[in-house]
């Protein structure tokens, strides 16, 4: 069964069970400052898990493009991936444990035809925060899972939360037994030896972990599930690694043909990082030195180094991108239109890196010589940082170069210097600030409403062409990108501020209505990213002033939002301006 077939069967199955299929959100989240990339299917749904009403109802299913980079330097082994697709189904206060487990069981055994003896499941063992989940175990047993294949583990294994704070709960995970010999008499699904492979995770999301680490009951009991598509394809096809499936095999084969100095780990790194880079760029990512741009930079640079290592002519990158797009276009049709941009961005970044690679390599060799004379076995963080800052060497590149020479690296020291260098800690990990996922507090909600007011005010002052191009909200400020050919004058900015504050003062009521996309358009609502909407949408009106299609949430009344103040206006890219603004509370 191909990955695409698995995806289609999944969506079909949950559709038959009353779920609405919603489109994949972009890899780069809109309006969610807490993460760099979408790392799970539940990300775009956080407001709804917290109780916000979803326009498509209480049963949803989708496939979601995800990127996780915590294990970026493990890529090259036989299992780690950065980009992957997560299939998911959700109950937003609808069904709970019993129905969720029954559906998972049916899908695995009847649709995918996995023999029941190959499935093991794990349940939450219980602790001071939540009880032992006997209920889940009983339901599995009733479905037909062998009693011996049901395990209980603690929070480390059977509790799910994204980040430090947010919706969470006990989960039950499903494992596929590959049939390998157990690594020890105690071998079980929590073991990493490769006998058991996790295939699906159903989270029974009924708690909210707050800032103080306390668990509160959520307004509603939700189910959030995630099934890793690449892994499932690998198992069902009886392959050893995801690289042996149709998702990667043609690229791996091509790289093998082209390599004059073949090694499998480099080929995997090239195939994996190239696919991730393509997906990130297609969703709007661009290389830079901070945040998600830095992750993309690392992916492209590491890929470039390994192409070099394989002895493959770097001018063949364009051909490799074509091959990738050819291979993925049925699953991600958006790649077809973005082909030229993808190529330009990757090739430009590769060229930048190549310019410094040689000098950086010399600098690196010097550092190795020095370390040898000093009888050290480690490349220190200072050297790593210099290689990063002056020659653009991502830390994992330096680490690999060092390891090839039998040296280790001091990553902690590098991280410390890197953090000091950037205003805020923005490297590596996707979770950007302690608040965890989708910090829907009073402040961010007010900024969300202010964004709509600003959008409308800009159109009044500058003209209808001033359309939203991007938006980002933190607890400290809003940032808004919009199309406009030249600098916005001081007078224009003052007028925009005045209009926004006038609306806030009027204490306008914010009203949310649900309708079809067509009805929304006909009602004159501004739509921003049409392809992302499902067939039912929410439209937020702020008095008679503004009307936008939007997921929410928003304030109920504008008064009390504070005084709106524009802090900065600057160019964002060609033909796009950027405003940063704050709300000052009296
Ligand atoms: N949120 C859970 C996960 O990422 C289930 O979707 O595994």
Work out the number of other CB atoms within 10 angstroms of the CB of residue 111.
14
> 232 CA distance to ligand 1 centroid (A)?
15
The answer to whether the Cα torsion of 538, 542, 544, 550 is positive or negative is negative
- Indicate which atom in ligand 1 lies nearest the CA of residue 42: 1
User: For the domain that residue 467 is a member of, what is the CATH number?
Assistant: 3.30.980.10
360 prior amide bond cis, ω within 30: no
Q: Is the CB of 41 under 6 A from ligand 1?
A: yes
Q: Are residues 282 and 339 in the same domain?
A: yes
Q: Which residue has the tokens 């830095």?
A: 294
Q: Is the CB of 49 under 6 A from ligand 1?
A: no
pLDDT(428) > 60: no
What tens digit of pLDDT does each residue of 271-306 get?
Answer: 999 999 999 999 999 998 888 898 999 999 999 999
- What is the share, in percent, of the chain residues with pLDDT greater than 70? 95
Domain boundary among 404, 433, 462: 433
Quickly count helices (H) and strands (E) in the chain: 17, 18
Residue 371 falls inside a structural domain = no
Q: Give the separation between CA 531 and CA 482, rounded to whole angstroms.
A: 19
Q: Are residues 48 and 171 in the same domain?
A: yes
- The answer for 560, left when phi > 0, alpha when psi is -120 to 50, beta otherwise, is left
Q: Are residues 384 and 260 in the same domain?
A: no
- Indicate which atom in ligand 1 lies nearest the CA of residue 203: 5
Q: Give the separation between CA 59 and CA 7, rounded to whole angstroms.
A: 17
Question: Is 217 in contact with 35 (CB distance < 8 Å)?
Answer: no
* E strand residue ranges, 359-403: 378-379
Q: What is the pLDDT of residue 474?
A: 83
Q: What is the pLDDT of residue 426?
A: 43
* Res. 533 pLDDT band, cuts 50 70 90: low
Residue 368 falls inside a structural domain = no
* Res. 440 pLDDT band, cuts 50 70 90: low
What tens digit of pLDDT does each residue of 13-32 get?
Answer: 999 999 999 999 999 987 66
- Indicate which atom in ligand 1 lies nearest the CA of residue 88: 6
The answer to whether the Cα torsion of 164, 167, 169, 171 is positive or negative is negative
Q: Are residues 350 and 449 in the same domain?
A: no
Q: What is the pLDDT of residue 237?
A: 97
Q: Give the separation between CA 341 and CA 439, rounded to whole angstroms.
A: 33
Q: Is the CB of 466 under 6 A from ligand 1?
A: no
- The answer for 511, left when phi > 0, alpha when psi is -120 to 50, beta otherwise, is beta
Residue 500 falls inside a structural domain = yes
What value does the mean pLDDT take over residues 532-544?
Answer: 82
What does the CA dihedral 174, 153, 75, 255 come to, rounded to 10 degrees? -20
Q: Are residues 126 and 154 in the same domain?
A: yes
Q: Whose CA is nearest to atom 7 of ligand 1?
A: 226
In 3D space, the residue among 86, 65, 15 whose CA is nearest the CA of residue 333 turns out to be 65
Q: What is the pLDDT of residue 357?
A: 86
Element (H or E) spanning 512, and its range? strand 510-516
Q: Give the separation between CA 94 and CA 91, rounded to whole angstroms.
A: 5
Q: What is the pLDDT of residue 551?
A: 79
Q: Are residues 538 and 477 in the same domain?
A: yes
* Res. 478 pLDDT band, cuts 50 70 90: very high
Residue 99 falls inside a structural domain = yes
Q: How many Å separate Cα 37 from the centre of its chain?
A: 3
Q: Give the separation between CA 579 and CA 3, rounded to whole angstroms.
A: 42
What tens digit of pLDDT does each residue of 550-566 get?
Answer: 877 899 999 889 999 99
Q: Are residues 48 and 162 in the same domain?
A: yes
Q: What is the pLDDT of residue 427?
A: 39
Q: Are residues 65 and 196 in the same domain?
A: yes
Q: Is the CB of 201 under 6 A from ligand 1?
A: yes
Q: Are residues 17 and 159 in the same domain?
A: yes
Q: What is the pLDDT of residue 516?
A: 85
Domain boundary among 433, 454, 482: 433
Q: Are residues 404 and 464 in the same domain?
A: no
What tens digit of pLDDT does each residue of 165-184 get?
Answer: 889 999 999 999 999 999 99
Q: Give the separation between CA 533 and CA 60, rounded to whole angstroms.
A: 13
Helices (H), 83-204: 97-106, 134-143, 155-158
Residue 369 falls inside a structural domain = no
pLDDT(443) > 50: yes
Q: Is the CB of 88 under 6 A from ligand 1?
A: yes
Q: Give the separation between CA 352 and CA 362, rounded to whole angstroms.
A: 17
Angle, vertex CA 232, rays to CA 229 and CA 238, nearest 5: 140
Q: Give the separation between CA 261 and CA 456, rounded to whole angstroms.
A: 58
> 493 CA distance to ligand 1 centroid (A)?
43
Question: Is 232 in contact with 201 (CB distance < 8 Å)?
Answer: no
pLDDT(64) > 90: yes
* Res. 439 pLDDT band, cuts 50 70 90: low
Q: Whose CA is nearest to atom 4 of ligand 1?
A: 40
User: For the domain that residue 84 is a member of, what is the CATH number?
Assistant: 3.30.930.10
* Res. 425 pLDDT band, cuts 50 70 90: very low
What tens digit of pLDDT does each residue of 332-374 get?
Answer: 999 999 999 999 999 999 999 998 888 888 899 999 999 999 9
> 272 CA distance to ligand 1 centroid (A)?
22
Q: What is the pLDDT of residue 321?
A: 98
- Indicate which atom in ligand 1 lies nearest the CA of residue 202: 5
Q: What is the pLDDT of residue 262?
A: 96
Mutate to test the pocket of ligand 1, among 14, 160, 227 (most ligand atoms within 8 A of CB): 160
Q: Is the CB of 72 under 6 A from ligand 1?
A: no
Mutate to test the pocket of ligand 1, among 88, 124, 207 (most ligand atoms within 8 A of CB): 88
Mutate to test the pocket of ligand 1, among 14, 41, 64, 65 (most ligand atoms within 8 A of CB): 41
Q: Which residue has the tokens 């979601």?
A: 64
pLDDT(424) > 70: no
Q: Are residues 168 and 219 in the same domain?
A: yes
What tens digit of pLDDT does each residue of 225-265 get?
Answer: 999 999 999 999 999 999 999 999 999 999 999 999 999 99
Q: Give the separation between CA 5 and CA 115, rounded to whole angstroms.
A: 19
Q: Is the CB of 173 under 6 A from ligand 1?
A: no
pLDDT greater at residue 201 or residue 424: 201
Question: Is 426 in contact with 432 (CB distance < 8 Å)?
Answer: yes
pLDDT greater at residue 337 or residue 473: 337
Domains identified in the chain, total number: 4
Gyration radius from the chain CA atoms: 25
Indicate the average pLDDT of the chain. Answer: 91
In 3D space, the residue among 582, 365, 569, 383 whose CA is nearest the CA of residue 462 turns out to be 569
What tens digit of pLDDT does each residue of 115-142 get?
Answer: 999 999 999 999 999 999 999 999 999 9
Residue 513 falls inside a structural domain = yes
**Domain residues for 429?**
376-433
Domain boundary among 335, 362, 389: 362
Q: What is the pLDDT of residue 359?
A: 86
Instruction: Spell out the long-range contacts of 459-462 with Cβ–Cβ below 8 A and sequence spacing 24 or more.
Output: 460/499, 461/492, 461/495, 461/496, 461/499, 462/488, 462/492
Residue 346 falls inside a structural domain = yes
Q: What is the pLDDT of residue 73?
A: 83
User: What are the phi and psi torsion angles at 106 (to 5°)?
Assistant: -65, -45
Q: Are residues 148 and 287 in the same domain?
A: no
pLDDT(325) > 60: yes
pLDDT(203) > 60: yes
pLDDT(199) > 90: yes
């Amino acid at each position: 069964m191909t990955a695409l077939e698995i995806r289609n069967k999944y969506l079909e199955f949950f559709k038959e069970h009353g779920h609405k299929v919603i489109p994949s959100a972009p890899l780069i989240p809109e309006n969610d400052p807490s993460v760099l990339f979408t790392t799970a299917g539940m990300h775009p749904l956080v407001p709804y898990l917290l109780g916000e009403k979803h326009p498509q109802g209480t049963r949803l299913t989708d496939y979601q493009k995800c990127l996780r980079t915590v294990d970026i330097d493990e890529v090259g082994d036989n299992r780690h991936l950065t980009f992957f697709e997560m299939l998911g189904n959700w109950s937003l206060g609808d069904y709970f444990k019993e129905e969720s487990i029954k559906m998972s069981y049916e899908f695995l055994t009847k649709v995918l035809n996995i023999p029941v003896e190959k499935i093991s499941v794990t349940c939450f063992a219980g602790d001071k925060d939540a009880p032992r989940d006997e209920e889940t175990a009983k339901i599995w047993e009733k479905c037909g899972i062998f009693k011996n294949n049901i395990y209980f583990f603690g929070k480390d294994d059977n509790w799910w939360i994204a980040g430090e704070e947010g919706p969470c709960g006990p989960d039950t995970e499903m494992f596929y037994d590959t049939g390998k010999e157990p690594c020890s008499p105690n071998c079980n699904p929590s073991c990493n030896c490769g006998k058991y492979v996790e295939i699906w995770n159903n989270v029974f999301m009924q708690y909210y972990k707050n800032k103080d680490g306390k668990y509160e009951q959520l307004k509603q009991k939700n189910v959030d599930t995630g099934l890793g598509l690449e892994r499932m394809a690998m198992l069902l096809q009886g392959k050893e690694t995801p690289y042996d499936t149709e998702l990667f095999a043609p690229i791996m084969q091509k790289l093998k043909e082209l390599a004059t100095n073949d090694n499998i780990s480099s080929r995997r790194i090239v195939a994996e990082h190239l696919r991730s880079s393509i997906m990130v760029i297609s969703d709007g990512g661009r290389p830079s030195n901070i945040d998600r741009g830095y992750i993309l930079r690392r992916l492209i640079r590491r890929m470039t180094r390994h192409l070099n290592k394989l002895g493959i002519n770097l001018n063949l990158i364009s051909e490799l991108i074509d091959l990738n797009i050819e291979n993925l276009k049925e699953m991600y049709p958006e790649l077809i239109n973005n082909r030229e941009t993808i190529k330009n961005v990757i090739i430009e970044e590769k060229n930048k890196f190549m310019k410094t690679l040689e000098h950086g390599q010399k600098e690196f060799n010097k550092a190795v010589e020095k370390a040898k004379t000093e009888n050290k076995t480690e490349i220190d963080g200072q050297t790593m940082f210099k290689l990063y800052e002056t020659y653009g060497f991502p830390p994992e590149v330096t680490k690999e170069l060092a390891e090839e020479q039998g040296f280790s690296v001091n990553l902690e020291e590098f991280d410390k210097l890197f953090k000091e260098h950037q205003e805020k800690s923005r490297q590596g990990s996707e979770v950007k600030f302690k608040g965890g996922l989708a910090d829907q507090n009073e402040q961010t909600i007010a900024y969300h409403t202010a964004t709509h007011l600003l959008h409308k005010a800009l159109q009044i002052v500058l003209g209808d062409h001033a359309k939203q191009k991007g938006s980002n909200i933190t607890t400290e400020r809003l940032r808004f990108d919009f199309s406009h050919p030249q600098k916005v004058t001081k007078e224009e900015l003052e007028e925009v501020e005045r209009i926004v504050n006038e609306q806030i003062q009027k204490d306008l009521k914010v009203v949310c209505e649900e309708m079809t996309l067509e009805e929304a358009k006909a009602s004159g609502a501004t739509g921003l990213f049409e392809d992302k909407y499902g067939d039912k949408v929410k439209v937020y009106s702020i008095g008679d002033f503004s009307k936008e299609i939007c997921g929410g949430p928003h304030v109920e009344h504008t008064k009390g939002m504070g005084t709106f103040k524009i802090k900065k206006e600057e160019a964002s890219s060609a033909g796009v301006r950027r405003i940063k603004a704050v709300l000052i509370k009296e």
